[in-house]
Amino acid sequence: MNVAYFPGCSLQGMASEYDKSTRLVCKHLGINLEEIEDWNCCGATAAHSLNHLLSVSLAARNLDLAKKMGLHLVTAPCAGCYGRLKAASYELKNNSEVAEKVSQIIGTSVPIEPEVKNLLQLLVESIGTPAIAEKVVHPLKGLKLAAYYGCLLTRPNQVTQFDDREMPVSMDLLLQALGAETVNWAHKTECCGGGYAASETDIVIDLGGQILESARAAGADAIVVACPMCQTNLDTRQKAIGAKRGIKYHLPIIYFTQLMGLAFGYTPRQLGFKRLLTEPFSLLKAQGLA
Amino acid sequence: MPELTKKPTEYYFKAVKLNQLDDSLQQEIKLKCGVDVETCMECGKCSGGCSNTHIFDITPRQMIKLIKMGREEPLLSMDSLWTCVSCQLCVDRCPSRIDIPRVMDYLREKACQQGIKPTREQVKLFNELMLGSIMKTGRVEESLLAVKFNLKTGNYFKDADLGRQMFFKGKLKAFGPRVKNLKKIRQIFNDTIQKEG
Ligand code: SF4
Ligand code: SF4
């Protein structure tokens, strides 16, 4: 199956291990990702918090480019990019006034198509966990994981139409299909502090701290993410959070695609595990996975 | 816990004359954002769910109430505009599906247009620098953005240790590929700035 691929800025920068593992895993599952030609930034928090029309227009250009490539489905691994693309596509469908303005700005008819799915959704809906389970050669036996979805994969549910908005299960089922165990915990969709990493670090230390503590209390060995912002916040601020709370955390923050790749038989090196700040190797080695 | 800059009582609980309420702000928001706050029943589920309500000076429910009361000035200067994490919990829990994050964005945009000083200038600055990067290259260059932000805030060594670690992990890379059709990106910026004022 051919899918338009929107990597986004983080995946060509800080989160290149997410990009790498996404491409490997999709190829392995027979999904042909076609990178959107000359894509631009989705607009991120900056655009929607300062200029709404700009935010919809930047996202719309990407949808339009995908449409011109003849593709009907766009996927974005970054939950932030996905959120912007999906919100724009929803607004263009449901608000004719904005749609009219945007089509003038972009200079084409409004890109109603293609449909936008986040990467997790694409994998569980279009491939399905049974088919994914069939590809597993190294079951992730012994790993106790906290599946962390963050805000934007499921919310607002009216727009995303994906999984349960506050107690989602798709990533849990996927990780179980890989042979891992997932913990029950309360912070699956709480916010990590998002785009405030640099400008209001205290917010990230507060909100991210609640997430780390909840995962630790539930007995997780690691937190599994589907967003570079979640990964960066929980990983890079882990020490500061520990200092603040007086608890020493050691929770590797791993992209779900890295774990899929591992279960499919790729090596940690191919999947960029060494780029994670909180080192994951002692955990993987203890279970004979590295 | 991050600091609360202003107490809600400073402006929320001022006496209002009920015969002097005006619905122009409510109408404006309906027209400009397509969000109708009329159906708010003040249940408070939005504030109960909100990720950052514990540091908000005005909670989401109070915000909707102030809109109905036509009290624009506290809304444009509230700290919540600069601490909302856009997590979408409020709108998802609202029985009336009132899109609070959209209203938040609208009020922030309006406050900026009117030149109202944000309570957290560094948040606005960060977003402006990010937009600058998008306008210039079509994409965000994360490491350059971090450096620029630190230079502008005079906080030269903020996260220097972290920066070093990330550098050795190969996470900080300047000059990734840019958008080729930069003319189009500039035109999108110009057109939207013109249209939105
Ligand atoms: S949840 Fe909705 S209806 Fe309830 S107070 Fe908030 S905005 Fe009003
Ligand atoms: S989007 Fe903003 S107002 Fe709504 S719940 Fe999140 S932090 Fe609170």
Give the DSSP letter of residue B56: -
Number of residues that make up chain B: 197
Quote the tokens at residue A40.
């631009």
Is B123's Cβ below 8 Å from some Cβ in A? yes
Q: Which ranges constitute the DSSP H helices of A218-279? A: 228-236, 238-245, 256-263
Do the beta carbons of residue A17 and residue A261 sit within 8 Å? no
Task: Please calculate the CA angle A5-A193-A76 and round it to the nearest 5 degrees.
Answer: 5
Mean pLDDT of A247-264: 97
Give the pLDDT confidence score for residue B14 in this predicted structure: 63
Q: How far is A37 from A201, CA to CA, in rounded Å?
A: 35
Is B14's Cβ below 8 Å from some Cβ in A? no
In this predicted model, what pLDDT tens digit does every residue of B106-116 receive, in sequence order? 999 999 999 99
Q: How far is B86 from B127, CA to CA, in rounded Å?
A: 14
Do the beta carbons of residue A42 and residue A6 sit within 8 Å? yes
Give the pLDDT confidence score for residue A197 in this predicted structure: 80
CA B152 → CA A238, B112, B119, B166, distances in Å? 26, 19, 17, 21
Q: How far is B68 from B50, CA to CA, in rounded Å?
A: 20
Give the pLDDT confidence score for residue B157 in this predicted structure: 65
Mean pLDDT of B77-93: 95
Give the DSSP letter of residue B118: P
Q: Which residues lie closer than 8 Å to B13 by C-beta, 6 or more apart?
A: none
Q: Predicted confidence band at B143 (pLDDT cuts at 50, 70, 90)?
A: confident
- Number of other residues whose CB lies within 10 A of the CB of residue B182: 15
CA A22 → CA A25, B37, B91, B178, distances in Å? 5, 41, 31, 21
- 3-class DSSP state for residue A145? strand
Do the beta carbons of residue A56 and residue A102 sit within 8 Å? yes
Q: How far is B97 from B46, CA to CA, in rounded Å?
A: 10
Q: Is the pTM of this model over 0.95?
A: no
Q: How far is A84 from A48, CA to CA, in rounded Å?
A: 9
Max CA separation in chain B (angstroms): 65
A 79-138 residues with CB below 8 A of B? 95, 101, 104-106
Do the beta carbons of residue B173 and residue B163 sit within 8 Å? no
Quote the tokens at residue A23.
């491409």
**Partners of A115 in beta bridges:** A73
DSSP element (H, E) containing B64:
helix B60-68
Give the pLDDT confidence score for residue B196 in this predicted structure: 66
- 3-class DSSP state for residue A221? coil
Q: Which CATH architecture has domain B19-113?
A: Orthogonal Bundle (1.10)
User: What sign has the CA pseudo-torsion B85, B87, B88, B92?
Assistant: negative
- The CA-to-CA distance between both ends of chain A, in Å, stands at 31
Residue B76 has pLDDT above 90, yes or no: yes
Is residue B64 within 6 Å of ligand 1 at its C-beta? yes
Residue A84 has pLDDT above 60, yes or no: yes
Q: How far A72 CA sits from the closest chain B CA (Å)?
A: 22
Is residue B101 within 6 Å of ligand 2 at its C-beta? yes
Ligand showing the shortest atom-to-Cα distance for residue B85: 2
A84 CB-contact burial (10 Å; exposed 0-12 / middle 13-18 / buried 19+)? buried
Mean pLDDT of A7-13: 92
Do the beta carbons of residue A219 and residue A144 sit within 8 Å? yes
Do the beta carbons of residue A53 and residue B195 sit within 8 Å? yes
Quote the tokens at residue A275.
């780029």
Phi-psi region of A194 (alpha: psi -120 to 50; beta: other; left: phi over 0): left
Average pLDDT score over chain A: 95
Between residues B154 and A159, the one the model is more confident about: A159
* Residue nearest atom 6 of ligand 2, based on CA coordinates: B87
Average pLDDT score over chain B: 86
Q: Which of A214, A221, A211, A218 is nearest to A144 (CA)?
A: A221
Do the beta carbons of residue A256 and residue A181 sit within 8 Å? no
B 151-190 residues with CB below 8 A of A? 158-159, 162, 165-166, 169-173, 176-177, 179-181, 184-185, 187-189
Give the pLDDT confidence score for residue B9 in this predicted structure: 54
Is B66's Cβ below 8 Å from some Cβ in A? no
Are B91 and A156 inside 8 Å of each other by CB?
A: yes
Give the pLDDT confidence score for residue A110 in this predicted structure: 67
* Residue nearest atom 1 of ligand 1, based on CA coordinates: B94
Q: Which residue segments constitute the domains of chain A, with CATH numbers given?
A: 2-120 (1.20.1050.140), 129-286 (3.40.50.11810)
Give the pLDDT confidence score for residue A162 in this predicted structure: 96
Residue A187 has pLDDT above 60, yes or no: yes
Which range, of A75-84, A171-180, A193-202, A207-216, averages the lowest pLDDT?
Answer: A193-202
Mean pLDDT of B90-101: 96
The residue in chain A having the minimum alpha-carbon distance to the alpha carbon of residue B140 is: A9
- 3-class DSSP state for residue B156? coil
In this predicted model, what pLDDT tens digit does every residue of A101-156 receive, in sequence order? 999 999 887 666 789 999 999 999 999 999 999 999 999 999 999 999 999 999 99
Quote the tokens at residue A289.
């996975």
Between residues B154 and B128, the one the model is more confident about: B128
Quote the tokens at residue A74.
């766009």
Residue B66 has pLDDT above 70, yes or no: yes
**Partners of A32 in beta bridges:** A2
Residue A80 has pLDDT above 60, yes or no: yes
Residue boundaries of the structural domains of chain B: 19-113, 121-185
Q: Which of B120, B132, B187 is nearest to A46 (CA)?
A: B132
A 37-76 residues with CB below 8 A of B? 38-41, 43-54, 57-58, 61
Instruction: Name which of B91, B97, B131 is nearest A46 (Cβ-Cβ).
Output: B131
